[in-house]
Amino acid sequence: MGYINAIIILAGINIVAGLGVSILTGYTGLFSIGHAGFMALGAYMWAIMLTNFHLPFGLALLVGGLFAGLCSFIVGYPAFRSRLRGDYFAIATLGFSEAIRLVLNNTYEVVGGAFGFMGLPSITSVPVVVLSVVLALFFAHMFVTSQFGKNCIAISQDEVAAEMMGVNLLRTKLTALFISAFYAGVAGGLLGGYMAYLSPSFFTYTRSSDLLAAVVFGGIQSLIGPVITAFVLVAVPELLRVFSEWRLIIYGLLFVIVMVFRPQGLLGYVEMNFHFLRGWWNKLRRRKPAAAVDGGGI
């Protein structure tokens, strides 16, 4: 049972971080291969808040998330200001996250350097993770269907047109990045609460690329797609431990297949994203104009 729990917890953490990447990459069109860095920032801030300031678990998670979000401006502001896009922005995030990992690796005061941040409580349980996932999904849905989220989608589809239509690119992108980093930071805190210690080696490039893989496989402009793949990408390698050395090869192969046959991802674009809710909503909306037309006819 403990093993299954472990998989559920790790998958849940991956889902929370994956939702963050989805908001940035799937909805705003900004590729990030540095979300492990934001996870690290959130995790270490969470640990400091918990051990040195004795904040309650949930509050410490929020502080960790906010800290990660604020730190994202360090990379976001100059990058968006100079209009880095696509691969260039991805590389900037990669450099940022590696820099954070190296700093943590070599800072022995407070955070324990390469030995890791020891003596954390083991408090991330299945209910905590499930609750976090539900909340994360709910708030992500609220964001992407809000006017903020729709501006993000517009930027991902045609940045120039969005700007010409009065969307403030810098502010909108920074908002998306902040929320995205916040999610990653909370996920980092959850990870620390499960592992009961933190080590910079948790937050390597591989973790970032796993998160990006979840979004690319799951589908852009979809929340449910990345949720499913973030779960699968943790669960399946665990269940197929025997093939563990083949994992990256299979990933690579899957990447190529998805890119060739379904570049928008398995559940890409809105149609699969809360489709049933949208369907009901549309039905409600359709009824009104139809009634108006009928009335006009009479």
Partner 1 sequence: MNAEILEVKDLSVSFGGVRAVDQVSFSLQPGELIGLIGPNGAGKTTVFNMITNSIKPTSGEIRFNGKSILGKTPDKICRLGISRTFQNIRLFPQMTAYENVELGLHNTPRYSILEAFVRTPRASRIEKETRKRALELLEMVNLKEYARERASNLPYGLQRRLEMARAMATSPQLLLLDEPAAGMNEDECRDLVKLIRQIHTSMHYTIIMIEHHMNVVMDLCRGSRIYVLNLGSLLAVGSPSEIQNNQQVIKAYLGERKNARADTRS
Which residues in this chain contact partner 1 in the complex, by CB under 8 A?
Answer: 139, 142-143, 146-151, 153-154, 157-158, 160-169, 175, 221, 269-270, 282, 289
Q: Least distance to partner 1 from the beta carbon of 83, Å?
A: 11
Residue 215's Cα: distance from chain center in Å? 8
Residue with tokens 């705003």: 28
Q: Least distance to partner 1 from the beta carbon of 280, Å?
A: 14
DSSP codes joined into one string, 85-96: -HHHHHHHHHHH
Q: Least distance to partner 1 from the beta carbon of 284, Å?
A: 12
**Nearest residue (CB) to partner 1, 117 versus 143:** 143
Between CA 62 and CA 45 the distance in angstroms is: 10
Q: Which of 245, 169, 181 is nearest to 23 (CA)?
A: 181
203, 18 contact by CB (below 8 A):
no
User: Residue 37 has which token pair?
Assistant: 């860095």
- How far is residue 252 from each of residues 178, 181, 249, measured CA to CA in Å? 30, 26, 5
Q: Least distance to partner 1 from the beta carbon of 20, Å?
A: 14
**Nearest residue (CB) to partner 1, 31 versus 202:** 31
**Nearest residue (CB) to partner 1, 99 versus 270:** 270
**Nearest residue (CB) to partner 1, 98 versus 159:** 159
- How far is residue 143 from each of residues 139, 157, 203, measured CA to CA in Å? 6, 18, 27
Q: Least distance to partner 1 from the beta carbon of 274, Å?
A: 14
**Nearest residue (CB) to partner 1, 72 versus 151:** 151
Residue 75's Cα: distance from chain center in Å? 17
**Nearest residue (CB) to partner 1, 123 versus 135:** 135
Between CA 39 and CA 26 the distance in angstroms is: 18
Q: Least distance to partner 1 from the beta carbon of 147, Å?
A: 4
- How far is residue 81 from each of residues 27, 45, 156, measured CA to CA in Å? 20, 27, 17
Instruction: Tell me if residue 61 falls in helix, strand or coil.
Output: helix
